[in-house]
Amino acid sequence: MEIERKFLVRRLPEGLEQYPCHSIEQAYLCTNPVVRIRRQDDAYILTYKGQGLLAREEYNLPLTGEGYFHLLGKADGNILTKKRYVIPLFSGLKAELDIFEDKLAGLWLVEVEFPDVETAEAFQPPDWFGTDVTFSGAYHNSVLSSMERFTPDPGLQAEDPSKLPPEV
């Protein structure tokens, strides 16, 4: 079971370059139910996700590189690429900050996974987090993969996405 909350990002946290960063490429074979393939650094993963917003089933299976590239040719929509920074929070929680590239450049999302629904509901986000979009299906990556380009909503998105540090 995946229990997570998702937020837009008001501003990037200080010292972003000190945190672990992963290069991610992912695509969707199906969006209902969600069947995703992902390359994260040198690992390949096939994921099934059930329905839900705050909590939903999630199963991950390893893939070979050959299997990943075979399935990539069968994917619907756009291939999503992003950098993911893993930032420790409090009580053992961690923020996964995604900085999207290519067609979704300018979109920053941060997710936090929780051990249970009660902890998720009680979570108080750091001040660099922006609008809570957990209950908006529009920010699921499977939905984002069908977008031709990202147009930020000035009332919701980061203060100025052009202010990314050069190492991002």
Per DSSP, the three-state class of 65 is helix
82 vs 168: which has the higher pLDDT: 82
85 pLDDT exceeds 90?
A: yes
Tell me whether strands 55-56 and 2-9 are parallel, antiparallel or unpaired.
antiparallel
Give the residue numbers annotated as catalytic, written as ranges: 28
Residue 165: pLDDT band with limits 50, 70, 90: very low
- Give the residue-averaged pLDDT of 132-155: 84
Q: Annotate 87-103 with b (16+ C-beta within 10 A) or e (fewer).
A: beeeeeebbbbbbbbeb
Q: Is the pTM of this model over 0.85?
A: yes
42 vs 158: which has the higher pLDDT: 42
151 pLDDT exceeds 90?
A: no
Give the pLDDT confidence score for residue 168 in this predicted structure: 46
- Give the residue-averaged pLDDT of 120-130: 96
What is the share, in percent, of the chain residues with pLDDT greater than 90? 85
Question: Taking Cα atoms as reference points, which of 98, 118, 117, 116 lies closest to residue 108?
Answer: 98
Separation of CA 10 from chain center: 16
Residue 152: pLDDT band with limits 50, 70, 90: low
- Give the residue-averaged pLDDT of 133-142: 92
**Domains in the chain, please, with CATH?**
2-163 (2.40.320.10)
- Give the residue-averaged pLDDT of 77-98: 96
SS (H, E, C) 33-100: CEEEEEEECCEEEEEEECCCCCEECEEEEEECHHHHHHHHCCCEEEEEEEEEEEEECCCCCEEEEEEE
